[in-house]
A and B are shown apart, each in its own frame.
Chain A
Amino acid sequence: MTATPPVAARPKYVGGAVKRREDPRLLLGRGRYVADIHLAGTVHMAIVRSPHAHARITSVDTSRASAAPGVLAVLTWDDIRDQAGPIPCIDVYPDSIPVLQTALADGVVRYVGQPVAVLVATTEYGAEDALSLVDVQYEQLPAVLDLDGATAGDVLLHPEHGTNVVTTIAQDVGDVDAAFATADHVYEETFTIHRYLPVPMETRGVVAEVDPITERLTLTTSTQFPHLVRGFLAGVLGMPESRIRVVAPDVGGGFGAKCEFYCEEILAPLLALRLRRPVKWVEDRREHMIASSHAREQKHTVRVAVTGDGTVTAVDARSWTNNGAAYCTLATTPASISSAMLRGPYRIPHYRARAHSVVTNKTPLAVYRGAGHPQAVLVMERMMDIIAADLGRDRVELRLQNMLTPEELPSDRGTAIVLAGQVVYDTGDYGYCLRRAAEMIGLSPSWAAEQEAARAEGRYLGIGVASLVEETAIGPYESAVVRVDSAGKVTVLTGSSPHGQGHVTTFSQLVADELEIDLDDITVLHGDTDVVVDGVGTFASRSAAIGGAAARRAAGVVKDKALQVAAHLLEIDVADLEWRDGAAVVRGMPDRSLSLGELAVAATAWNAPLPGGMAWNLEATYQHQAAGIAFSNATHAAKVAVDVETGQVEVLDYVVVHDCGTVINPTIVDGQVHGGVAQGLGGTFFEEAGYDADGQPQALNLQDYLMPTAGDMPWIRTDHMQSPTPLNPYGMKGAGEGGATGAPGALVNALQDALASFGVTLASDGPWTPERVLALIPAEVDQR
């Protein structure tokens, strides 16, 4: 046989560390965020917010504000109650008690920061000035802030319902009671997870305007899901969706805080319709800390059944989520995910969970990077360490013993996540990630001796691991349109609207590989419901896997059509053509080909009809539907040093071994992991949205609310493995949230390891501030 030299394969973009195409514009200061939009004739909206955690509004006098120079309108709930329905919640359960928020308070305020009245003035400074002229009188009511108090029900936020427990989610797998009856060991712990916040660097903002010609409303808003906002707004205002255009311009981070539909997204459109002028509002940071969604706060009580050989047979879990004063758009998702995913990568055949959503006089709580996962991981991974310590087992070995193996997958876990569906783990090698992370961090048989030696020198070192499986790439679908113009340039429209994830780059990589063209020939458009008619959005680590799959499949349909057109033009069978380098090529005759541009021209209206009534133009629309949830997995491992004199914790080393299926761009995946870890680290050591006993929020700016800076971060070392999911043709899973999901568990376990000699058992995710760490250390050690 004569060997023919192989044709050099076109280099693939997918899997490559392609530099981001969106960066130059942003680096040159040419980004366009909501606050940067200045339309002629713009007027400025400002919100009067409740200063009380719980109070009845006895009167609102707007006369002084209305008379202030430049003030154009002042509205209260009475002025808009007939025009605006409540903010929808899309993840309620059938038996959930509806506790929906209205755009302005309807007689009672239930948290500090709740909108009470809205005004518009000709200047931003003037609008702010006029706020103090709105005279609102309140009769204060007792506030309830903590889960135990709210569950007891002495103070009710909505007395008509008779309870503050507004949703209870049940997950039942196997026979939990029988497993406990035969267990050799039963462990019970209660964990508290504190309230902390997404805090994107860009706050929220909106610009609403009415087109004088079409009378259509355009709402430009800093959101993660413009298409859903369009639907929500249409429903709330009773307007046809066709009269609403929603635009997400450059969005400066979201992390869940912009995966919500907010009061201001109703108020600005209402005022624009009323005044017929563009209405602009940009949230200030103080407002953001009390009026954008909060996150995380939960309490978990878990009982765990273990047999003598260390097999974890059952978990019986109860959790309470502090939902704040009302349902957000996504309100039960944190509780749902925590309860569905608590067992993480472990077999644990018998499982029962009751997850309660509870209302209190705090800011409404919703999703934040990882949603309910970080809480679940903290609880389960703390329990694995507690069990290992009690049984005298190696914590890695105990985990491996209980972990699902690749051969056991797919595995129907018997639980379900609201909006996402049944939990069926698809692919992964959880044990590999754990073993590799343990090896990378130095968790070897000699670790205990190393730790002991350091302790003898007064250095308290600890290593913690946390293994996780996370729901990613949820459906129901994402849309894509791929269109080729007569110059052979390709436009990709995606319904997944980004806020830093790099969709323009990764989607270009996918489409470029499918059509075998250059990245520079591709334009990716998103974030405008008039340009991209259908879409879902960017959340739940879904964009690459669902939106990316839609884009690539649409490109594939275009390619197939291009081949059909080529066969028609060349009068040959399509089977005699192949696709190579962006062209239809006759097999065996590489010189005989038609390029994408030539084929696009041939498919336009001024050319001969296409065969068989084929639609004109090289264009395809594809809706990729998620057949199930893709589950990413990872193990995080952290090494910390505790200064027992100051309580300061230094993170010496941090390792993430991560599996998100097929990686489109490893640099972007690493960036996602780094950012998530920083947020988890911030929540573990610094960040807290605290309240005083009266319900006054204690973190009103970024000086009270400490977030990590560059110097607080360890150097994160990542390693990837790729277990493609069968749920899309390209094997991609989600990568956006795992960093935040795994960090609290790994860091708290590391702190526990460092302080174990003091006999403490950490049962909280922190924040482990120096004061709190110091409180764990016996005085005689402190004073050495």
Chain B
Amino acid sequence: MTSARVRAELITVTVNGVPHEAAVPGRLLLADFLRDRLGLTGTHDGCAHGTCGACTVLVDGDAVRSCLMFAAQVDGSHITTIEGVSPDGELTPVQQAFQDNHGMQCGFCTPGIVCSLTGLLARDPAPSEEAIMDTLNGHLCRCTGYQNIVKAARQAAGRPVEGSAPESIGQGSDR
């Protein structure tokens, strides 16, 4: 981006239902494209190396870390960011579950988690406890200690919210 010598790729991408054409330098991260070019700042950059999950968006329905993709890779894709999860500005059941269960504090990690759960529930409206924990284990939150996020996810999935997860779920995940 520092000079005109950097080659740009022309992409066509639909973001939250709106088609965009853009010339993007090869190294422009999808997260930066969404935030800086399109002004969709609800996608947050918490680590820029794919660990924290705050930048998660849905690309053709799949939850992806937008800090690990280049904008040039999403040519032809349909992307949903947190701003597009609820186009009419009313809380979706997933979002409402976070407020109902105090599943958020500072709110920085929340959009990524909401996107992941929205993607999960679109694929599987009644996910198992294992599927929920698999999804949540892909996100870091430093405020809540996760318990109320688990409750929110269970509510959104139509499961009872209280009580610990069955043993062996999640423990020692990839560590």
Using CB atoms and an 8 Å cutoff, list the residues of chain A in contact with chain B: 19-20, 22-24, 26-33, 35-36, 38, 68-70, 121, 123-126, 129-130, 198-203, 250-253, 255, 282, 284-285, 499-502, 648, 650, 667-668, 670-671, 673-679, 701-703, 706-716, 739
Contacts and interface: CB of A to CB of B under 8 A. Distances in A.
B41 A201 contact: no
Contacts of A30: 42, 83
B126 to A, nearest CB: 19
Contact of B164 (A31, A702, A714): A714
Given A201-B106, A253-B108, A677 B145 contact: yes
- Chain A CB count within 10 A is highest, among B46, B49, B100, B138, for B46
A191 B139 CA distance: 33
B81 A29 contact: yes
B102 A29 contact: no
Contacts of A198: 142
A28 B142 contact: no
B140 A702 contact: yes
Given A28-B89, A712-B171, A36 B2 contact: no
4 residue pairs, one from A and one from B, having the closest CB atoms: A711-B170, A29-B42, A252-B108, A500-B106
Interface in B95-119: 95, 98-100, 102, 104-111, 114
Range of interface residues on chain B? 35 or more
Contacts of B108: 31, 33, 200-202, 250, 252-253
A499 B108 CA distance: 10
B63 interface: no
Given A129-B2, A285-B47, A38 B36 contact: yes
B84 to A, nearest CB: 9
B144 interface: yes
A709 B172 contact: no
B107 A500 contact: yes
A651 to B, nearest CB: 9
Contacts of A667: 102
B99 A24 contact: yes
Contacts of B163: 715
Contacts of B27: 125
10 contacts: A23-B107, A28-B42, A28-B89, A201-B44, A201-B54, A202-B44, A675-B144, A701-B51, A703-B51, A711-B136
Contact of B49 (A123, A673, A702): A702
Contacts of B42: 28-31
Given A253-B106, A253-B108, A707-B140, A69 B2 contact: yes
B146 A679 contact: no
Interface in B137-175: 137-150, 163-165, 169-173, 175
Contacts of A19: 99-100, 102
B2 A68 contact: yes
Contact of B99 (A27, A69, A284): A27
B102 to A, nearest CB: 5
A284 B46 CA distance: 8
B173 A709 contact: yes
A651 B25 CA distance: 48
A711 B104 contact: no
Nearest to B111: A29
B49 A126 contact: no
Contact of A650 (B106, B171, B173): B171
A702 B51 contact: yes
B48 to A, nearest CB: 6
A36 B1 contact: no
Given A201-B52, A202-B106, A710-B133, A29 B100 contact: no
Given A23-B99, A709-B139, A121 B171 contact: no
A687 to B, nearest CB: 11
A124 B41 CA distance: 16
Which applies to chain B's interface (DSSP): helix, strand, loop or mixed?
Answer: loop
A502 B105 contact: yes
Given A285-B48, A709-B140, A500 B164 contact: no
A29 B40 contact: yes
B148 A202 contact: no
Contact of B98 (A27, A282, A715): A27
A125 B139 CA distance: 26
B56 to A, nearest CB: 12
Contacts of A677: 145
A739 B146 CA distance: 14
A671 B102 contact: yes
A395 to B, nearest CB: 25
A28 B172 CA distance: 32
Given A20-B99, A201-B108, A251-B106, A28 B86 contact: yes
B83 A38 contact: no
- Chain A CB count within 10 A is highest, among B27, B145, B171, for B145
B82 interface: yes
A199 B44 contact: no
Given A38-B39, A253-B106, A709-B173, 5 more contacts: A28-B95, A285-B47, A709-B136, A709-B140, A713-B146
A502 B169 CA distance: 31
B35 interface: yes
B91 interface: yes
Contacts of A702: 47, 49, 51-52, 140
A69 B98 contact: no
Contacts of A715: 147, 163-165
Contacts of A68: 2
- Chain A CB count within 10 A is highest, among B27, B40, B111, B146, for B146
B170 A671 contact: no
A679 B144 CA distance: 10
Contacts of A252: 44, 46, 106-109
A677 B148 CA distance: 13
A80 B171 CA distance: 51
A255 to B, nearest CB: 7
A122 to B, nearest CB: 8
Contact of A35 (B41, B85, B102, B150): B41
Contacts of A29: 40-43, 81-83, 85, 111
B55 to A, nearest CB: 11
Given A24-B99, A285-B48, A711-B173, A255 B142 contact: yes
A661 to B, nearest CB: 20
Given A201-B108, A500-B106, A710 B136 contact: yes
A35 B36 CA distance: 10
A123 B145 contact: no
B49 A648 contact: no
B160 to A, nearest CB: 13
Given A32-B41, A202-B46, A253 B2 contact: no
A523 B91 CA distance: 21
Nearest to A24: B91
Contacts of A676: 145
Nearest to B6: A125
Contacts of B83: 28-30
Nearest to A709: B137
